[in-house]
Each structure stands twice: as C-alpha cells, then as structure tokens.
Amino acid sequence: MTTSSDHVVGDSFVGAVLGARYRLDARIGRGGMATVYRAEDLTLGRPVAVKVFAEAAEGIDDAERRRSETALLASLRHRALVTLYDASRDPASGREFLVMELVDGRDLREALKHGPLGPADAAGLLADVAEALHVIHERGIVHRDVKPANVLLEPAHLPSRTWNAKLADFGIARLIDDARLTRAGLLVGTPGYLSPEQVSGAAPSPAADIYSLGLLVLEARTGVAAFPGPAVEAASARLVRDPEIPESLGADWVSLLRSMTAREPGDRPSALDVAIAATALDTSRASVSNVTAPTIAFADVAAAQTQPAEAAAAASGASDASSGSETAATQVLPSPSRSFFDAPAGTESAESTRRAARAASEQRSRRWVRPTIAISLLVAIGAVVAVLLFSSLTAQQAATTPEPLPAVPGELGVHLEELDEAVTGG
C-alpha cells in the first residue's frame, strides 16, 4: 500500500501510509522544512516518528547515496541521540521522509514555556547534548540546527534526574544535498541559534554546533532567547555583539558560556570539553544540594537514651563503675518488666531490719513513757540512725559493724543503747 492523493489533505499526511509500511496517525511537530508525525511501523508493529520533508527540500532521490548516508546515521548509537531507523522517498507523493525513534515526552521549547531550568537540570541537559554532539562530530557530521525544538526530553528513571535529553535531526544536511538546498534558497538552521560563521555564509564546522548549544543553554538558564526578533535581525545581531550572560548565573557558568559563544570558531571548546565541564557543574551542584545531616550511629543513640539513667545513678553514687571506662560503652536500659525505681537485689534484709526496729521502738515506747520532749528527741535521733543505716546497706556495707553511737549521759543514753541493740541484733 502506498500514499495516494486521497490520503493527503493540503500538506497533511495523517492517515496516509508511506512506502507501504509507515501509517501516519497524528502530527506532533512542524517546522519550515518538514513535518513530524506519530506513526506505526506496520512491518514491525512498533510506534515510530516520521519526518516528512517539504517539496523544496527534496534531494535524496539518489538511492545509492541515500542508502550510504542512512547506514552511517543509523550506526550512530548513543543514549542522547534519537535513533534513525530508515530514510526513503515515497513514490506516490514524491516526498522524502525519515523514520526515527519515537520519544515519549516533550521538547525543550515546550518545557521553557513554563520557565527556565534550575542549575542541576541545565547542567544535566548540557552534558547530554554535548556528549551527543561529540559522537556525531567524531564521525564527521555537523548538526547545523541545534535548537530547543530539536532537544527532546525523555522522562528519567532515576530520582536524581527529572529527564534525559536526546538530540534529534542530526545528519539532515548529509541526507539532503547542500547544492539542492542552496538552489532552493534554504539554509539548514534556525536564525535565533545560528553561529556567526553560518550567518556569514561560511561552511559550518563542529564549532558552529558549540555556539548554537551555548545559546540554547543560556536560554534554558535565563528563560530568555539571546537573539530574539525577526529572522534577519536575529541572525545579523551576533555579527556585531556577543550574547549577554548574567553574572548571577555564577562564575563557572559565565566562564563556560562565554567560551562556547566566542565569536571566533577557534576560540570555542570542543564538544567533549563542554561535556566534561558540564558534568563537573552537575556534580558540584549535586554535592551542595544533597548535603544531609550526619549519620547517627546506633551506639550513639543508645548512649543518648541512657543519659537519664546515668544521671540518676550518679545522684545515688552508683555510677562509679562506669566512669573509669575510656570510651562510653552502650548502656543497657532497665527491663520494661521491672520498674526503674524497684529496690535493687539484696535489700530484703534491710527491709526486715527496719521492720524489727519499728517493732522494738513501739515496744519500748509502751514500756517507758517519757516526757514529750524526750520522745521527740528519741524519734529524731532514730530517724538519723535509720537513714545512715540504709545508706550504708545500699552501698553494700551492711556486713560491717556500725561505729558505736556517742555516749549520752543519763536515762536518755540508756534508752539509746537499748534501741541500738534492738536494731543491730546485738
């Protein structure tokens, strides 16, 4: 099946089948020299993009040259290059067309309608496109038309990137004879992004692509085209002035963009140099934006959690064993099944002693009734003795014999001696 005039309405090929193989389903882009369609490869059953050239751009009807150039361009495989599948001429319509990889996403021109790119995204974009240009320049191909509409943005699969950039439309000048384009009065390139030598009519070299890429990335960072306006004005402006590069972009960006847009081709860096510089820009920006709080070790967390326990132990004099360690070891918190304030093991004997002391005190209080002032003094002294005894038992000194109390003359001294004997079991 081939294209018939019934399938073509005006310059639209929607619904047509080119070369008995590619069914054009919808138009997705249009330029001065060609229209791009979303299409279906009926032989392989896969979606593709088909670029149909205008009549004035014909020039690849030499079958042998077309096969040679198509083989060259199709051999260029890189993640940042839109893969070329086929190039042919439809016999029914007489139109020449390219069949390319279909990239799901949008182009940079559409993306910039929502505002300029941030430094990290712009650096990633520049690295991708510069690396792609390095690949085609190594094969002797000059793109000639580096512009936002020819940079496609494919969604990325890594959280560190928003999308991956792909360069399209490389090698068109090789597929379409330069002589034919000259006779038709066409110039491969977009006025707002042409290099000074292209405006002057000189044959473009790889340095021309570097200049165009510099203007593209400058616009991506600022959101403003460096040379806007009508075609003639935009093209001729760069012959008399250099693009304005704001100092607010940062010294590293300003230096790189100025070298890329130098008026003399020999003063511009190579595509490889630009790719390396852009990668360094991307890395430096990522290292600043990805600074996070220091990782806290689990031992540090455990030590922080044990600080209240250590403070309580220090208050009771029980932290001496851990204070001599050179490094703070991870402390074990009390078991949840036991209250933090439970009495330590071994205090049952102290409790029994206290109960015996209270019983003895009550018994003697019934036997001897003394004046109120004597009883008060006795209770106060007994409380002091009990506190001293409890402290000594807690410090694991219960086995030692307490020092004898000071001698108190009179009947009060006798009572104190009896109380002491009851408490100590003497």
Active-site annotation, residues: 145
Burial class (CB within 10 angstroms; exposed 0-12, middle 13-18, buried 19+) of 365: middle
Q: Which of 152, 172, 232 is nearest to 33 (CA)?
A: 172
Give me the residue label for tokens 């018994």. 363
Give me the residue label for tokens 């077309």. 66
Tell me the CA end-to-end span of the chain in Å, nearest whole number.
122
Buried b (16+ CB within 10 A) or exposed e, 160-182: ebbbbbbbbbbbbbbbbbeeebe
Q: What is the rounded distance in angstroms from the CA atom of residue 252 to the CA atom of residue 259?
A: 11
**Distances from the Cα of 290 to the Cα of 155, 281, 388, angstroms:** 21, 14, 60
What does the chain come to in residues?
426
Are the C-beta atoms of 202 and 263 separated by less than 8 Å?
Answer: no
**Distances from the Cα of 381 to the Cα of 368, 374, 375, 408, angstroms:** 17, 11, 10, 12
CA-based angle 35:40:46, to the nearest 5? Answer: 125
Q: Which long-range contacts (CB under 8 A, 24 or more apart) does 308-316 make?
A: 309/333, 309/334, 309/340, 312/340, 316/394
Residue 91 DSSP class: T
Please name the amino acid found at residue 188.
V
Are the C-beta atoms of 207 and 265 separated by less than 8 Å?
Answer: yes
Burial class (CB within 10 angstroms; exposed 0-12, middle 13-18, buried 19+) of 309: middle
CA-based angle 165:169:171, to the nearest 5? Answer: 125
A 10 A CB-CB count for 12 gives 15
Q: Phi and psi for 45 in degrees, rounded to 5? A: 65, 40
